[in-house]
């Protein structure tokens, strides 16, 4: 029987679940907190023994530590209730948090998994398959990998996909949406069209099954490729 | 023969430079965005353009907004959009002989050999509320520039001077990283 080649991004997920016995139960517990009205979060880093809790700021959003952290292996957070005012996928702010942590050298990219559980009952895991691509897309003029054309594209893509707070501006991904599949298609289009160096997985509620997701524009379907 | 070639070249040129349909800026993302010019037909941007000031922590926060017409959309096919761009200043003793700029967003960065001219990118679909993205590049040493969602709402439309409520929402998720510029302030249009 042929042995399938290892899938590096899947391996990041399963290596963590195998190496940290408490991780699965912690993620399941966090998944149960999406009904709360504030975000909740947990993390594991190279200088922590167990999964730790993240604090929540005054605005109800989870805050990621940077001072006391060595390097993050895993960050998980919720997008809280109510479901009609929260993103069912990762937010623009989530991308910038990852960018900031990468710039601060606070993420172990070869191990890192970024989990999201939402009040829309979606569960995703995201890994960084190419840090340089990700950082180039989010580079500012303070960064030496800044590219003016990519910068312009990023500004336009934010307007197209994420511009919030103006009901007449019509961004494609909105917090008020209850159509999780459509949100996912837009989100994957954004990742793929911009070659962001990220891999997205859908996770079952028991955190046993992980499926890599890609959007097929020809068929308008989200294709699932199992990790297990 | 030469005449035919000339006509052919002109015809091809016309085809390749396909004109855009001019539509109102508030129709962006409503259907196919390609081959359109999302123009501020209704003049929604006009009340916002100019210089705004407000005071906080014994300094003046000054914002200058301008319109860029027909900015090419890099993520659409043959499409353009009018946008509002802007910059800010943090000023001590504003309007006095010893006025001093403590920090301004317009800065040159040798690492990218470029100047950050505009840190605000916004639109208005109503003439009352402007929404967009803002960058704060006046952060302390070691803290990356902060970005957030900007909402600027004019509270006395039709009056002079105009007054607007400036709010920055959803800043950084990194603990301890925050904006140096005000996130909630009333601004008065001064010019």
- On chain A, the residues whose CB falls within 8 A of the CB of B125 are 166, 168-169
- Whether A2 is covered by a domain: the verdict is no
Question: Is the CB of residue B141 less than 8 Å away from at least one CB of chain A?
Answer: no
Beta bridge partners of B91: B60, B101
pTM (predicted TM-score): 0.89
- Whether A221 is covered by a domain: the verdict is yes
- d(CA A143, CA A104) in angstroms, rounded, equals 12
> Into how many domains does chain B fold?
1
**Chain pair A-B, CB pairs under 8 angstroms:** 118
Tell me: the pLDDT tens digits for A59-90? 888 999 888 899 999 999 999 988 788 899 99
Q: Between residues 162 and 221 of chain A, which touch chain B (CB distance below 8 Å)?
A: 163-166, 168-172, 193
- Whether A3 is covered by a domain: the verdict is no
- Whether A61 is covered by a domain: the verdict is yes
Q: What is the domain extent for residue A212?
A: 8-226
Q: Residue A44: helix, strand or coil by DSSP?
A: strand
Q: Do A153 and B75 touch (CB under 8 A)?
A: yes
- d(CA A86, CA A206) in angstroms, rounded, equals 22
ipTM of the complex: 0.85
User: What is the average pLDDT score of chain A?
Assistant: 91
Could you say which residues of chain B have pLDDT below 50?
12-16
Please name which of A201, A21, A192, A16 lies closest in space to residue A110, comparing C-alpha atoms.
Answer: A16
- d(CA A146, CA A162) in angstroms, rounded, equals 22
Question: Is the CB of residue A159 less than 8 Å away from at least one CB of chain B?
Answer: yes
Percent of chain A with pLDDT over 70: 95
Q: What is the domain extent for residue B149?
A: 2-189
Question: Is the CB of residue B41 less than 8 Å away from at least one CB of chain A?
Answer: no
- Whether A1 is covered by a domain: the verdict is no
- d(CA B125, CA B44) in angstroms, rounded, equals 6
> Into how many domains does chain A fold?
1
Is a pLDDT exceeding 90 seen at residue A14?
yes
φ/ψ of residue B25, rounded to 5: -60, -25
Q: Do B132 and A97 touch (CB under 8 A)?
A: no
- On chain A, the residues whose CB falls within 8 A of the CB of B173 are 61-64, 93-94, 96-97, 100
**Helix, strand, coil tally for chain B in percent (to 5):** 10, 45, 40
> pLDDT at position A1, please?
45
Closest chain A residue by Cα to residue B113: A141
φ/ψ of residue A146, rounded to 5: -65, 135
Q: Do B126 and A168 touch (CB under 8 A)?
A: yes
Question: Is the CB of residue A152 less than 8 Å away from at least one CB of chain B?
Answer: yes
Tell me: the pLDDT tens digits for A134-182? 999 999 988 889 999 999 999 999 989 988 666 667 789 988 888 999 9
């Amino acid at each position: 029987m042929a042995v399938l080649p290892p899938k590096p991004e899947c391996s990041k997920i399963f290596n963590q679940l195998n190496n940290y016995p408490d991780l699965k139960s912690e993620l399941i517990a966090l998944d149960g907190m999406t009904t709360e009205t504030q975000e909740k979060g947990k993390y594991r880093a190279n200088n922590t023994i167990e999964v730790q809790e993240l604090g929540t700021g005054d605005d109800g959003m989870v805050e990621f530590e940077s001072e006391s952290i060595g390097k993050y292996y895993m960050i998980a957070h919720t997008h809280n209730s109510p479901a009609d005012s929260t993103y069912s996928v990762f937010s623009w702010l989530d991308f910038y948090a990852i960018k900031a942590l990468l710039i601060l050298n606070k993420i172990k990219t070869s191990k890192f998994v970024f989990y999201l559980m939402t009040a829309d009952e979606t569960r995703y895991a995201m890994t960084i398959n190419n840090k340089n691509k990700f950082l180039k897309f989010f580079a500012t003029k303070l960064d030496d990998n800044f590219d003016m054309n990519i910068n312009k594209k990023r500004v336009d893509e934010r307007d197209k996909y994420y511009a919030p707070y103006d009901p007449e501006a019509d961004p494609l991904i909105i917090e008020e949406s209850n159509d999780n599949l459509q949100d996912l298609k837009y989100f994957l289009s954004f990742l793929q069209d911009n070659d962001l160096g990220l891999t997205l997985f859908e996770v079952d509620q028991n955190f046993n099954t992980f499926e890599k997701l890609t959007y097929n524009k020809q068929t308008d379907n989200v294709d699932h490729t199992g990790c297990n | 023969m030469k005449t035919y070639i000339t006509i052919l070249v002109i015809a091809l040129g016309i085809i390749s430079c396909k004109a855009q349909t001019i539509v109102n800026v508030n129709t962006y993302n409503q259907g196919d965005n390609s081959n359109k010019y999302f123009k501020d037909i209704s003049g929604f941007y006009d009340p916002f353009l100019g210089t705004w000031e407000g005071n906080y922590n014994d300094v003046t926060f000054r914002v200058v907004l301008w319109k860029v017409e027909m900015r090419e959309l890099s993520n659409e096919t043959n499409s353009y959009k009018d946008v509002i761009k802007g910059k800010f200043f943090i000023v001590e003793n504003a309007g006095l002989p010893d006025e001093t700029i403590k920090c301004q967003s317009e800065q040159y960065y040798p690492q990218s050999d470029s100047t950050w001219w505009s840190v605000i990118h916004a639109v208005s679909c109503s003439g009352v509320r402007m929404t967009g993205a803002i960058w704060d590049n006046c952060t302390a040493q070691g803290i990356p520039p902060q970005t957030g969602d900007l909402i600027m709402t004019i509270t006395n439309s039709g009056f002079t001077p105009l007054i607007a409520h400036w709010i920055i929402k959803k800043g950084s998720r990194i603990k301890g990283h925050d904006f140096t510029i005000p996130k909630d302030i009333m601004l008065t249009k001064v010019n």
